[in-house]
Amino acid sequence: MWNFRPGQIVIAVLLAVALPVAAWAQLKNIYSQRDRFHPEVGHHGMVVSQENQASAIGVEILKQGGNAVDAAVAIGFALAVTLPRAGNIGGGGFMMIHLAKTGETVVIDYREKAPAAAHRDMYLNADGSVNRRLLEAHHLASGVPGTVAGLARAHKQYGSLPWKDLVAPAIQLAEHGIPINYDHLFTLTKGKQRLQQFEATRQMFYKPDGSMYRLGETIVFPDLAHSLKLIAEQGPSAFYEGGIAQKIAADMQANGGLITLDDLKNYAPTLRQPVRGTYRGYEVVSMPPPSAGGIQIIQILNMIEHFPLQEYGLNTAQTLHLIAEAMRRSFADRSEFMGDADFWPVPVDTLISKEYAARLIRDLDPNHATPSRQIKPGTFLNKESNETTHFSVMDEAGNVVANTYTLNFSFGSGIVVPGTGILLNNEMDDFSAKVGAKNAYGLLGGDANAIQPGKKPLSSMCPTIVFKDGKPLLATGSPGGPRLTTATLQVLINVMDFGMNIAAATNAPRIHHQWIPDKLRVEKGLSGDTIKILKSMGHDVRVTNTIGSTQTVMRKGNFFFGASDPRRPGAGAQGF
């Protein structure tokens, strides 16, 4: 049933079906000669992910009669094989689901949890400094994984096809192998020194003599295939109670880690209600705590809604200045008020209220940057790495999935559990290891995000769905650490303020400001004159690496549109 050839790339096509004249007129309007970028188009559904083979699997599931949730589950497992630096079954994340039949939008929170033996100061040296090695490349760095439980919960509650059929494509890929592409070559070369310090990791990703696989050569993952077979046959219990769980717990005990069989057995995803906001006639629905991303998106939109961005123009200095100032204020609030709401009283309603946003911008100078040292968290009385990944799915029935999950760093902690092919996350670095200390991405943390047993670390992940007139218009999200929030935000602004199609909205240059450090980061491609004006307004502008990698789907009338971010190689938007 699954026959993927090495290097296969499935191109999105529109089926040759008879369409009403009005539908063709709509398609003609979407494909405007005034646009430099155009999305992929489908008539029955759309899948967008960061890796082509995973997108092809999602489309095949839809063709077999599966719904958007079925496709998302299959993609989630496939990415653990084809995009091992970020796709995972040893990490965690968030899945937002809109159900066409009931009109309900829900969130499955399958974020990693701190083990029961975790404690507030577990990463501090005797002198009180933070031990980065323990947070980044040690068995202590891992939270209890949630991906398998999260995908299983989604399938059990909202899926339609048999579980085995959704895991099967990933098993075949792991057994028969995948061709080494440029992305694999780059990330495995860059991470070689870190990854090869762990024997099981070296055996999984490098040749027996430790050398690199060459471009186009096939790499197989027999241990991962075996683990996936167990999960297909036994369900999530294989991972949380059976043979896989025993191997994880044994490896932890042998190497100073904290995750036990009880930690795994007691893990359960949480069903949550999303946060909601409005912006210029649209409804924006995004992630609640333990993610800060959804709150921040709504908060920033509430601030910039006070200004006529369309009048100022796309990516002009005036528009970018206002967006950056709103970002700055939101990240200040993030450091103080946001954490796992099951452990900390996050004032969600206040943070996303329009009244509070109006107070935040009272000191905003429309012509000059406010130094971050003057911005304090508002008064009203830690990050994913670039190796997070996102995928979005829409099906013909109107169901929508936006899913973001991660291992944190590229290849997580770098540790593969022997005999499983499973990479462990290093998500414990998303906690505040020490109040007031920065994490690996420069984000400050406080008491709200301090380590506690069973607590989930603060996240930036923000899978988001936008509604217009009560119907889902688009779904999007991104990897990129704190930058994933601002990348997702700017795609939304480009669509809602400037009427761009999702491909053009994706390709536009981006900016990022996170309060601390006080720097305005911009991508290459922004006008030199614009940068000069921003500097004259007081911004410390730095041209930086690309910001985020959004994966966006949209439905308008009889058509589905998909845009995969060109900032990362190998991504694919595919429809049918």
Q: Which residues are catalytic?
A: 388
d(CA 555, CA 490): 19
Instruction: Classify residue 561 by burial, with Cβ atoms within 10 Å: 0-12, 13-18, 19+.
Output: buried
Instruction: Break the chain down into helix, strand, coil percent, rounded to 5.
Output: 35, 20, 45
Q: Are 265 and 257 in contact (CB under 8 A)?
A: no
The torsion angles phi and psi of 98, rounded to 5 degrees, stand at -105, 125
Give the integer Cα–Cα distance in Å for 425 and 414: 8
Residue found by looking up tokens 């910001």 in the block: 547
Residue 77 parent element (H or E) = helix 68-82
- Burial readout 136-146 (b: 16 or more C-beta within 10 A, e: otherwise): bbbbbbbbbbb
Contacts of 572 (CB under 8 A, 6+ apart): 9, 10, 12, 48, 49, 51, 52, 54, 55, 56, 564
Spatial separation of the C-alpha atoms in residues 399 and 560, rounded to whole Å: 12
DSSP single-letter state for residue 83: S
Phi-psi region for residue 408, left (φ > 0), alpha (ψ -120 to 50) or beta? left
Torsion, Cα of 116, 436, 289, 490 (10° steps): -140
Q: How many CB atoms lie within 10 A of CB 362?
A: 6
CA 286 – CA 278 distance, rounded (Å): 11
Alpha-carbon gap, residue 515 to 123, rounded angstroms:
25
Torsion of CA 552, 554, 89, 263, to 10 degrees: 110
Which of 98, 106, 111, 229 shows the shortest CA–CA distance to 163?
Answer: 229
Given a contact cutoff of 8 angstroms between Cβ atoms, the answer to whether 147 and 91 are in contact is: yes
DSSP state of 33: T
H or E element in which residue 404 lies? strand 400-406
Show the tokens assigned to 366.
Answer: 């429309």
